Amino acid sequence: MTKVVAVIGLWISVCFAFSFMIYAQDNEPAATYISPEGIRFQSYSSKWGPDKLRGLYEILLQCEHGEELNQLKQVTLYPDKSIGKSGYRVGYYSIKNKSIDLYEVDSVPIERTFIHEYGHHFTYYWLHKKEGIYPAQLTEASQWSQIRQLDGYPIRWSGSTLPYSHKWDPEEIMAEDYVLLFGIDSRPMPERPSDVVNWLRHENDYIPSVLSIPAVRRYWQTTAGLPSKQPLKMPVIQQWEIITDEEGEEVEQIRVVFSSAAASEQQQVQYGIRIVGFGEQGGLPVSITTGLVAEGKRLIETNLDIRPLRQELQTFYVHIQIWALEPESKQIMYTPYYINWFSYDHDSKSIKPMTLPLDKQGIRIMLKNEGMDRWPLVLMYLNGKPYNAVRKYNENGVDYIPLRLFSEGEEANSSLNNGDDKPVDVQFQRRSVQVRMNQEQAMIDGKSVKLKRSIKKMGMEPVVPVSELPELFGVAILWDGEDSGMIVQTDTP
């Protein structure tokens, strides 16, 4: 039965492809525009004339690009639907023809799809220049794969036996990365700060955010010769509380304080903040959105009215997402889906951090069906505050987390890149720690300490056993490694 369905699906795809070949042969384009580079933009829709085609080209120019732009041959717009290997599609890139096809152009916005497809062109060209392979040939050992931090996810690497899935295809992840890193002009700029919420986001919410991995941008910009940028910082929630008046009565607002995304004091950043409440008994979620503009690196504070959550949900848990847009440098940043989850205690009227609700959200079953056995990230809270989400490692039943979680300052961070034979120096909350790879010895504030397990390298980075954290950094650990949320909560004495 499976083979029959596959054959039928292939036959439908072939029929659609053949129909578009006949369509193009039997019909003259309704409009054509040739760019100065010689890229042919042609439309089979009466709604897309030469001026609109030129506008599409100008959107492309606003996105960052290198010499690969001159290799693009053609962009074709069709008003009809099309089917690809993942079902109906609105765009397609052909590496053979170096061309982009866009579908349903009369009924759906195509600008973002266009830049996504150009992301294929960009990444195909430069990956082959850099590593001598194309995206379909990527394996876990490829340089880009290591930098992108996708260990533990059901990525459809070359040779994978898992069924095709668009969001787990490394080609599609690369193209989406391009949109977020280099192509934010694929969307009109928001009119209000609150409109930054969901203005632009990655197709795959479960993998590490590409915006939080500066090495990915450096990989592409050095390869393609793009200008360097000082990246925006991930906003981190510093404080959250239910506001009370002078008599201690609640005013039905929540105050959220978070760190700035600005990389310099001169940057003016637009912030969009959204709280989504989910009823403990189910039902439709309730969202609250606000926005503001702030300059520089100071802490950002905002209050949100939570009456709709209480009135409609009564008992609930919430997810807070913060979005930041800096229009001048054309950069966006937003907190990932998998962090900033909180439970609301009705009796104490307090909000407390919680793990990613995999079961409540139906995520665990969905991801398992897509090939993921366990949630691979550690969600870390430092003194009760959301701190970071990073890859968890396990070897022979021992859990490890990246040493960089406890590395403060540029000097300490640069030390993490030392070779295996050189010491790694880490500064954490006024504690100075020096370790060497694969040695059960450490120097803590100048004193030698014996470890039960050594620090080692996994996934191209130094990792530390969770069991050694109290000794090394003087912290109390609450480890929830058995649950797929895998929270590491640290509290300094």
End-to-end CA distance of the chain: 62
The mean per-residue pLDDT over the stretch 412-438 comes to: 77
Q: What confidence score (pLDDT) does residue 26 get?
A: 56
Give residue 417's identity as a one-letter amino acid code.
Answer: N
At residue 170, what are phi and psi to the nearest 5 degrees? -60, -30
CA dist 391 → 61, 147, 214, 418 (Å): 36, 12, 16, 20
- The whole-angstrom separation of Cα 409 and Cα 367 is 36
**For a pLDDT cut of 70, what percent of the chain falls above it?**
87
The mean per-residue pLDDT over the stretch 402-411 comes to: 72
Q: What confidence score (pLDDT) does residue 13 get?
A: 44
Q: What tokens does 183 get? A: 């192509």
- The whole-angstrom separation of Cα 192 and Cα 327 is 12
The mean per-residue pLDDT over the stretch 371-397 comes to: 82
CB neighbour burial string for 304-333, b if at least 16 within 10 angstroms, e if fewer: bebeebbeebeebbbbbbbbbbbeebbbbb
- The whole-angstrom separation of Cα 7 and Cα 267 is 55
The mean per-residue pLDDT over the stretch 346-351 comes to: 75
CA dihedral 12, 15, 17, 23 (to 10 degrees): -140
- The whole-angstrom separation of Cα 211 and Cα 332 is 8
CB 258 within 8 A of CB 281: no
SS3 447: strand
CA dist 439 → 233, 461, 463 (Å): 34, 16, 13
CA dist 360 → 280, 281, 317, 355 (Å): 8, 10, 10, 11
Continuous segment of H or E residues that includes residue 10: helix 2-26
DSSP-assigned beta bridge partners for residue 318? 277, 342
Q: What tokens does 273 get? A: 């903040």
Q: What confidence score (pLDDT) does residue 2 get?
A: 41
SS3 446: coil
Q: What confidence score (pLDDT) does residue 87 get?
A: 64
DSSP 8-state secondary structure symbol assigned to residue 166:
G
SS3 469: helix
State yes or no: pLDDT of 29 exceeds 80.
yes
Q: What is the pTM of this model?
A: 0.86
The mean per-residue pLDDT over the stretch 366-391 comes to: 83
SS3 191: coil
Stretch among 178-187, 214-223, 405-414 having the lowest mean pLDDT: 405-414
**Strands, E assignment, 231-299:** 237-244, 250-258, 268-279, 286-295
Pairing between β-strand 487-491 and β-strand 431-435 as defined by DSSP bridges: unpaired
Query: pLDDT class for 428, splitting at 50, 70, 90?
Result: confident
Q: Is the dihedral of CA 82, 199, 226, 232 positive or negative?
A: negative
